[in-house]
Structure 1
Amino acid sequence: MVETDPRRLDRIVSNLVVNAHRHGAAPVEVVVAGRTLTVRDHGPGFPAHLLAHGPQRFRTGTTERGREHGLGLTIASGQAKVIGADLNFTNAQDGGAVATLRLPQDGTPAGA
């Protein structure tokens, strides 16, 4: 059980799932294990700069405006910080982007 702001959690999860569908490929998997939620797609994975520096404002995944990731990951990262959660981005060894959200327990930031 986790006590958190449900609106912020909804925004985080929604942005992660929408990003996986828009910029990744099916199937998109959402797994919840304890305080950890993982969203994985089977597309090309996150770009190297996102893995190195995290999501950044003003980068987009739409082909009309360039490449990379959408604003949703930046929003999800900001919301995660507000609720004291840890949000990490990796690529699966067999392909696809993986976003892992670790929620805090008893008001303690995840990973602390």
Structure 2
Amino acid sequence: MMIKKIFLAIIILISLTNSVNASTTSNYAEPVQTISKTYTEGFYKFDNKNDVDIGVTLITNTPTKIMILDENMNVQFISLIPYNTKFYLRNIAPKKIIAIIGDGEVALSFDKI
């Protein structure tokens, strides 16, 4: 009987430590000013008040991806960024999270719609 209690306690501890709500991790991302500059790996929540178009250019020749996430950390877009070629993410709404994944440096430019 004691072994069953210990086993149950271990199962409960494992399940509690592994259950992380993704929306709580997005609350730690402080809004960043919507400034056109070079960004590196990380999660960015910009403080734009209106929809914007974002120009994306990979400056370094290092495999890097970009993701667009909503407030609940659901992936809405993911793409490998082509080296030294500018492309646009259109109509990015406020409160979206931009994730840059990889060791590359990415130039982001913000254009109001």
TM-score normalized by structure 2? 0.26
Q: Which has the higher strand share?
A: 2
Name the structure with the higher helix share.
1
TM-score by length of 1: 0.26
